[in-house]
Amino acid sequence: MTRRRWLQELLSLPWVIALWTRRLIAGSRAASIGLMLAPAPATASDSPVADFEALVAFAEVLVDSRLFSPDTRRDLTEHLADSASVDPDRRARYVTTTRLLDRLAGARFSQLPLGERAALMARHRLNVRLLTAEESAGAISDDARAVRTQVLPDLIGACWRSPAGWSAVGYGAFPGRCSDLTRYTRPEP
């Protein structure tokens, strides 16, 4: 990846956000209205997202429908820690997401089995990225909206940027992992 490509990506981020916003606004009207969430009660998970466990557990359902490998967990956790350290807004959204998930679960979301997590997310439409017209008009809590419109694409993007994401498209080497120089001259096996 070159400087120009990097610059283009940097400059295209607003376009991605704009596209995403349009998709959200144009979301399916047939879908049901999401749960209106009450203000969060104080729970044990009000502590900061120090270990990002809930977010990783959330991403496992979103991205893979299976448990992450230790390497993928590490890559995602690094992304979350890095993002939270430089972007206070993003950090606040991570806290909001963790609290929301734990509250809906009535326990630590990260400690639920994968199937229960998936069911909970489906029940509350937290695995659906597009908002319905009703949701766009306000029939959804601010917290749920932030999770679905901002945290969800953040987690998906981070996972697909990681080695696991490249591996899923058949690449053992990718931008950031060196390989045999002649590999680029032939198709992948």
Partner 1 sequence: MDADVCIVGAGAAGGIMALELARRGVTVVVLESGPRHDFRQRWQYVREYVRRKNPWESRLPRQDNATFGGRVAYSLEGRRARGVGGSTLHWEGYALRFHVDDFQLQTLYGIAEDWPIRYADLEPYYARAESALGVAGTDDDPWAAPRSAPFPLPGFPFSHSDGAFAQACGKLGIAMHRLPQARNSVAYGGRAPCQACGTCHVCPTGAKATIDLTHIPAAEATGKVRVVTEATVLRLETDPAGTVTRAVYAHADRTERPLSARIFVLGAGGVENARLLLLSKSPRFPDGLANRSGLVGKRFMAQPSIDVIGRMAHNVYPYRVGFSTAMSQQFAAPRDRATRAAFYLEFLNSAGPKPDELAVSSGRTGDDLRQYVRDEFGKWLGIRIYCEHLPDPSNAVSLSARALDYFGNPGPHVVYRLGRYEQNALDEGKRVATKVLEAAGGTRLRVTSLSPAAHQIGTHRMGTDPKTSVVDPDLKAHDVDNLYLVGSGCFVTATASPPTLTIAALALRAAERIAARVAPAS
What Å distances lie between residue 96 and 18, 171, 183, CA to CA?
A: 23, 35, 44
Compute the least distance from the CB of residue 134 to partner 1, in Å: 17
125 torsion bin: left (phi>0), alpha (psi -120 to 50), beta (else) = left
Residue closer to partner 1 by CB (options 40, 90) is: 90
Residue closer to partner 1 by CB (options 91, 174) is: 174
Compute the least distance from the CB of residue 78 to partner 1, in Å: 8
Q: How many CA atoms, within 13 angstroms, populate the side-chain half-sphere of residue 29? A: 3
Strand partners, 161: none
The Cα–Cα gap between 131 and 182 comes to: 46
- Footprint on this chain of partner 1 (rule: CB under 8 A): 1-11, 13, 16, 19-20, 23, 61-65, 78-79, 82, 127-130, 152-153, 156-161, 165-166, 168-171, 173-188
Among the listed residues 89, 91, 103, the one whose alpha carbon sits nearest the alpha carbon of residue 141: 103
The Cα–Cα gap between 102 and 96 comes to: 10
Compute the least distance from the CB of residue 42 to partner 1, in Å: 30
Compute the least distance from the CB of residue 41 to partner 1, in Å: 28
Compute the least distance from the CB of residue 37 to partner 1, in Å: 20
Residue closer to partner 1 by CB (options 42, 178) is: 178
Residue closer to partner 1 by CB (options 38, 178) is: 178
Q: Which two tokens stand for residue 12?
A: 């295209």
Residue closer to partner 1 by CB (options 45, 94) is: 94
